[in-house]
Structure 1
Amino acid sequence: MLHVAFSDDWEACERFGEYNVATRNTLYEVAGFVHASTLSGLPSVLHGPYADASIPLVLAVIDEDSLADEGIEVAWVPAEGAGAPVPRILGAFPMDGRTVPAVIELGRADGRWVVPDLSGFSVRP
Structure 2
Amino acid sequence: MKQGSEEQLNSAFAALADPVRRALIARLSRGPATVNELAEPFPITKQAVSKHIQVLEQSGLITRTREGQRRPCHLDPAALEALTSWIDIHRLTVERQFRRLDTVLDTLKEKES
Instruction: Indicate whether the TM-score tops 0.5.
Output: no
Q: Which has the higher helix share?
A: 2
More relative contact order, 1 or 2 (CA 8 Å, 6+ apart)? 1
User: Shorter-chain TM-score: which interval?
Assistant: under 0.3
Larger radius of gyration: 2
Higher strand proportion (structure 1 or 2): 1
